[in-house]
A and B are shown apart, each in its own frame.
Chain A
Amino acid sequence: MSSRHLLSIRDLTSEDAITLLDSASAFWELSRRSIKKAPTLRGKTIINLFFENSTRTRTSFELAGKRLSADVINISVQSSSAKKGESLRDTVATLDAMHPDVCVIRHGASGAPGFVAERVNAAVVNAGDGLHEHPTQALLDAFTIRQAKGDLEGLKIAICGDVAHSRVARSGTLLFQKLGASVRLAGPRTMLPPQPESLGAEVFDRIEPALEGADVVMMLRIQQERLAGTYFATLREYAREFGLNSTRLELAKRDAIVMHPGPLNRGIEINDDVADSDRAVILNQVEAGVAVRMAVLYRLAGGGEARL
Chain B
Amino acid sequence: MRTLLDEEAVDRGLRRIAGEIAERHAGAADLVLIGIRRGGVGIAEALARWMADLEQVAVAVGTVDITLYRDDAATALPNPRIGPSDIPCSLTGRDVVIVDDVVFTGRTVRAAIDAVFDYGRPRRIELCALLDRGGRELPIQPDYVARKVDVASDERVDVIATNGRLRAVVQPLTAPSIPPPT
Binding site for B on A (CB under 8 A): 19, 22-23, 25-27, 29-30, 33-35, 37-41, 43-44, 68, 298-299, 301-307
Answer whether A33 and B67 are a contact pair too, CB < 8 Å, given A23-B80, A41-B74, A302-B74: no
* Residue pair A306, B118 in contact (C-beta under 8 Å): no
Interface magnitude class on chain B: 20 to 34
Within the assembled complex, what's the spacing in Å between the Cα atoms of A167 and B141?
54
Interface of B toward A, CB cutoff 8 Å: 65, 67-69, 73-85, 90, 114-115, 118-120
Bound Cα distance from A43 to B80, whole angstroms: 20
- Nearest A-chain residue to B66, judged by Cβ: A38
Question: Quick one: which of B74, B80, B114, B120 has the most chain A CB within 10 A?
Answer: B74
Shortest distance in angstroms between B79's beta carbon and chain A's nearest beta carbon?
Answer: 7
CA distance A37 to B76 in the complex (A): 21
CB distance from B3 to the nearest CB of A (A): 34
Alpha-carbon distance between A30 and B82 when the two chains are bound, in angstroms: 12
User: With A26-B84, A29-B84, A29-B85 in contact, is A303–B74 under 8 Å at CB?
Assistant: yes
CB-CB under 8 A for A26 and B82, given A38-B69, A39-B68, A39-B69? yes
Q: Which residues of A contact B120 (CB under 8 A)?
A: 34
Q: Do most interface residues of chain A lie in helix, strand or loop, or is the interface mixed? A: loop
- Indicate if the CB atoms of A35 and B85 lie closer than 8 Å: no
In the complex, which residue of chain A has the Cβ closest to the Cβ of B79?
A: A19
CB pair A304 B75 closer than 8 Å? yes
Tell me the bound Cα distance from A301 to B90 in angstroms.
31
**Residue from B65, B73, B83 whose CB has the most chain A CB atoms within 10 Å:** B73
Cβ–Cβ contact A35 & B119, under 8 A: yes
Q: Which of A25, A35, A38 is in CB contact (< 8 Å) with B84?
A: A25
The 8 closest A-B pairs by CB, nearest first: A303-B74, A38-B68, A26-B82, A23-B82, A35-B118, A40-B68, A303-B75, A305-B78
B-chain residues with CB within 8 Å of residue A301 when the two chains form the complex: 74
Report yes or no: B74 in contact with A37, Cβ–Cβ below 8 A.
Answer: no
B78, B83, B90, B114: the one contacting A26 at CB < 8 Å is: B83
Asked if residues A38 and B77 are in contact (CB atoms below 8 Å), the reply is no
Which residue on B lies nearest to A301, using beta carbons? B74
Q: How far is the CB of A37 from chain B (nearest CB, A)?
A: 7
When the two chains form the complex, which single residue of B73, B90, B118, B119 contacts A302, counting CB atoms closer than 8 Å? B73
Instruction: Give bound CA distance, A304 to B74, whole Å.
Output: 7
Listed by A's residue number, 30 A-B pairs whose Cβ atoms lie within 8 Å are A22-B81, A26-B67, A26-B68, A26-B82, A26-B83, A26-B84, A26-B85, A27-B82, A29-B84, A34-B90, A35-B119, A38-B118, A39-B68, A39-B69, A39-B114, A40-B68, A41-B73, A41-B74, A298-B68, A298-B82, A299-B80, A301-B74, A302-B73, A303-B73, A303-B75, A303-B77, A304-B74, A304-B75, A304-B76, A305-B77
Q: Write the chain A residue with the least CB distance to B120.
A: A34
Q: How far is it, in angstroms, between the C-alpha of A34 and the C-alpha of B117 when the chains are bound? A: 11
**Known contacts A26-B67, A298-B80, then 10 further A-B pairs from the complex at CB < 8 Å, ordered by chain A residue:** A23-B80, A23-B81, A26-B68, A26-B84, A30-B68, A34-B120, A39-B68, A39-B69, A43-B74, A303-B73
Q: Within the complex, which residue of A23, A40, A302 is in contact with B69, where a contact is CB–CB below 8 Å? A: A40
Contact A40 B73 (CB under 8 A): yes
Q: Quick one: given A33-B119, A38-B68, A39-B114, are A44 and B81 in contact (CB under 8 Å)?
A: no
**Chain B proximity of A80: nearest CB distance (Å):** 29
Judging by beta carbons under 8 Å apart, are B118 and A33 in contact? yes
